[in-house]
Amino acid sequence: MADLLKRDFMHDYQDYASEFILEHSVAAVFLECGLGKTVISLTAINDLLYDSFEVQKVLVICPLRIGLNVWKQECDKWEHLNNLRCSIAIGNKEERIRALHKKAGIYIINRENVDWLINESGIPFDYDMVVIDELSSFKSYQAKRFKSLLKVRPKVKRIVGLTGTPSSNGLMDLWAEFRLLDMGERLGRFITHYRNNFFDPDKRNQQMVFSYKPKAGAEDAIYRLISDITISMKSTDYLKMPECVINEVVVTLSEKERKAYDGMKQDLVLSLKGEEIDAVNAAALSNKLCQMANGAVYGEDKRVFTIHDKKLDALEDLIESANGKPVLVAYWFSHDLERIKKRFKVREIKTSKDIKDWNNGEIEAAVIHPASAGHGLNLQAGGSTLIWFGLTWSLEFYQQTNARLWRQGQNETVVIHHIITKGTIDEDIIRALKRKEKVQSDLIAAVKAKLKEGKTYE
């Protein structure tokens, strides 16, 4: 009966991906946004729990909002998943413990509490299957969540890693992700060995190496090593996606504004209204320049100094040209949000009610922060225009935020505007995102799923 329901309601590629999980005790499933990775995973879990009886308890690790708003709702939405019981272990300590003691097949926890679950909760780790929703959030081998999960990994019989952005910052990200999945079988047990085998030092200062670049042939070699447990799919291959138009809106600083920006960039120190604002290292300088490109900068005690309103003016033009059509605005810094709120009537997308109201067409202008709402939220019903007021270096946040609107179920052409301040770090960020996207696209192409013998969907 379950198989019949799957055929009735799921796409062929979703059935294929679900079967891949069933056939591989270790599975890396790189699904581009909108392909339905949650229902695919739940279908496999349902079979493992109630058909083959291979597992008894499943732990799903995911971003906070996805844990609250997506996994359980998918069980309720699909008829063949209605018998699944989910317990959401998100909230304060007492709420989490109570949820973990409930009788269920699936236990959902946010990634920030993985270390607590394993090392502090006092509850035995007896899950025989783990699903990591957004595997890329475990790309840092120095993070507590990585070290904690690695400690209990030998207890887990089955593990699935889900993401649409496996290598958002390059191939170096893959080591930690696959170290968790296959315990080092394919890319090695130690990061130093992986680095020495596949990378050469790139940027360095004498003995200090700041970055690495892949050796000749390394990309193909890495892809071959992981291909047996990895499938990837792009939404444009399997879904009738709406057209997506990418637009750059360039604003130009005045001579005075340009002088202030260049002074910061060249001298690392900017004096505004008698106060010195220091950029003590490259990361801090980048942060300051991004702020200034957006129009304001933090000083001491988080005081905000306005540099220009060029992006606000451009945002006003874009909102006006939408003629009442809903727009979603992505911001990065808190002072961006405050300045946008001061000038426009906007509403933040933060809660389940915000999401519902947006999708019901009740919000004309909404603001969203990529880091807090980038993954998994379905916002395509509420609008088709996204405006990047402030850019991010993170390809993962960038692609995931775009995919809130450009995804299955979107009925209109999606327009993504980038407000870019000419001659500033904004231009560097756009170039960097394009470079990173090529690396990731190459990875996805190399392990692209074959749904039929001898046929690859290009």
Residue 349's contacts (CB-CB under 8 Å, 6 or more residues apart) are 328, 355, 358, 366, 367, 368, 373, 377, 379
Identify the H or E element spanning 331. Answer: none
Residue type, 444: I
Q: What is the pLDDT of residues 140-198, one digit of tens each?
A: 999 999 999 999 999 999 999 998 777 767 888 899 999 999 999 999 999 999 999 99
Contact 70, 355 (CB under 8 A): no
Domain ranges of the chain: 2-233, 244-437
Closest by alpha carbon to 97, among 69, 71, 116?
A: 116
Contact 157, 25 (CB under 8 A): yes
Q: What is the pLDDT of residues 434-447, one digit of tens each?
A: 888 887 887 777 77
Q: CATH for 2-233?
A: 3.40.50.10810
Distance CA 138, CA 333 (A): 24
Q: What is the pLDDT of residues 202-232, one digit of tens each?
A: 777 767 777 788 899 998 999 999 999 999 8
Phi, psi of 452 (to 5 degrees): -130, 145
Distance CA 369, CA 350 (A): 9
What band does 455 get if pLDDT is binned at 50, 70 and 90? very low
Distance CA 387, CA 124 (A): 46
366 beta partners: 328, 347
Q: Return the structure tokens found at 223.
A: 């892809």
Residues 12-20 have a mean pLDDT of 90
Going from the C-alpha of 442 to that of each of 395, 396, 437, the distances in angstroms are 14, 15, 9
Whole-number pLDDT of residue 452: 47
Distance CA 330, CA 294 (A): 12
Whole-number pLDDT of residue 82: 87
Q: Three-state SS for 455?
A: strand
Closest by alpha carbon to 129, among 161, 101, 172, 166?
A: 161
Whole-number pLDDT of residue 109: 96
Whole-number pLDDT of residue 389: 96
Block residue for tokens 């005790």: 25
Residue count of the chain, please give it.
458
DSSP state of 113: G
Q: Three-state SS for 327?
A: strand
Whole-number pLDDT of residue 260: 83
Q: Three-state SS for 10?
A: coil
Contact 165, 400 (CB under 8 A): yes
272 beta partners: 275
Q: Return the structure tokens found at 453.
A: 């013998």
What band does 24 get if pLDDT is binned at 50, 70 and 90? very high
Q: Three-state SS for 433?
A: helix
Q: What is the pLDDT of residues 318-356, one digit of tens each?
A: 888 787 889 999 999 999 999 999 999 999 998 888 888
Contact 315, 389 (CB under 8 A): yes
Phi, psi of 419 (to 5 degrees): -85, 115
| 244-437 shares the fold of 2-233 | yes
Block residue for tokens 């916002």: 379
Contact 401, 165 (CB under 8 A): no
For 53-111, what is the HEC assignment?
CCCCCEEEEECHHHHHHCHHHHHHHCHHHCCCCEEECCCCHHHHHHHHHCCCCEEEEEH
Residues 408-418 have a mean pLDDT of 84
Q: Return the structure tokens found at 214.
A: 């892949």
Whole-number pLDDT of residue 79: 86
Distance CA 345, CA 393 (A): 28
205 beta partners: 208
269 beta partners: 278
Q: What is the pLDDT of residues 248-286, one digit of tens each?
A: 888 999 998 888 888 877 766 555 555 555 555 667 778
Q: Three-state SS for 385?
A: strand
Domain 244-437 in CATH 3.40.50.10420? The answer is no
Percent of the chain exceeding pLDDT 70 equals 90
Identify the H or E element spanning 307. Answer: none
